[in-house]
Amino acid sequence: MLIGCDISGQLKKDKYWILGSVWIPKEKLPQYEEAICYFRLKNKLWGELKWTNISPQKLKEYKEFLTITLQEFPIKIRIILLEKKIIKLKEFYGNSKGKMFSTFFYLLLKSHIKRLPTTTSFDILLDEEDWIREQSLNLKGFLEYFLTKGHFNKSIDHLSQCDSKICSLLQFCDLISGAISAKMNQPDENVSNDKKEIIKHIENLLNHSLSDLTPLTDERFNLWRWRPYRRTF
């Protein structure tokens, strides 16, 4: 399984951090990249597909990219929402966003890795950011420890940062995370019409609202809002 990860909601005014991940079976990756390469050739579209790059002029192409990805390939989407006001960044993470992001990517990834009984190996790519350079070894080590301690017959074959310009899966993750961030963090009137149209297109393809939470067990699209554990005595 190849997993691409990205983060949205990093503006100071945003209520939530959105930690996104998209999952594709590794044996399907060559066909996916071939399909996206053909799409780019047909549309003469070689720039990076990003949420911030959406424009009315490229709306048709963005929709086609999303349609190919979600209709023709068995891609799963796993998102965790972190409400900023309840994250004790200084108290628990030494005021380090890197440690915090690493902690919650660990929580997100391990929660879904263990739910795939027949998948034994995982490659994880995180969009290139400063925090992952510092935390990639820690994240990989904790995931490997979790699998070993739990006696799971699974391995983390590779975990590293990757420039999203060269990875279609990371570009897809950016679009999904950005769309969810727009719905969860921005007033409707602040979202441009072209981005609203992309959000609606994704929701139609998934047959699910991007702002509706789901049970952790939902297969295709999982939107999980993390809440701190409350001890009872």
CATH number, residue 104: 3.30.420.10
pLDDT, position 230: 59
Find the domain containing 220 and state its range: 2-225
The Cα–Cα gap between 149 and 203 comes to 38
Question: Where are the alpha helices (H) located in the chain, listed in sequence order?
Answer: 29-43, 59-72, 89-93, 97-113, 130-149, 168-185, 193-206
The pLDDT tens digits for 27-64 are 999 999 999 999 999 999 989 999 999 999 999 999 99
Q: Is residue 121 part of a domain?
A: yes
Higher pLDDT: 97 or 141? It is 141
Record the pTM.
0.94
Question: Rounded mean pLDDT of 197-226?
Answer: 94
How many folded domains does the chain comprise? 1
Q: Is residue 111 part of a domain?
A: yes
Q: Is residue 233 part of a domain?
A: no
pLDDT, position 15: 96
Q: Is residue 230 part of a domain?
A: no
Residue keyed to tokens 């769309």: 179
The Cα–Cα gap between 128 and 19 comes to 14
Q: Is residue 231 part of a domain?
A: no
The pLDDT tens digits for 161-206 are 999 999 999 999 999 999 999 999 999 999 999 999 999 999 999 9
Residue 151, Ramachandran bin (φ over 0: left; ψ between -120 and 50: alpha; else beta) = left
Q: Is residue 177 part of a domain?
A: yes
Give me the chain's average pLDDT, please. 93
Q: How far is CA 222 from CA 7, 112, 133, 205, 226, in A?
A: 16, 10, 27, 14, 12
The Cα–Cα gap between 76 and 94 comes to 33
Q: Is residue 54 part of a domain?
A: yes
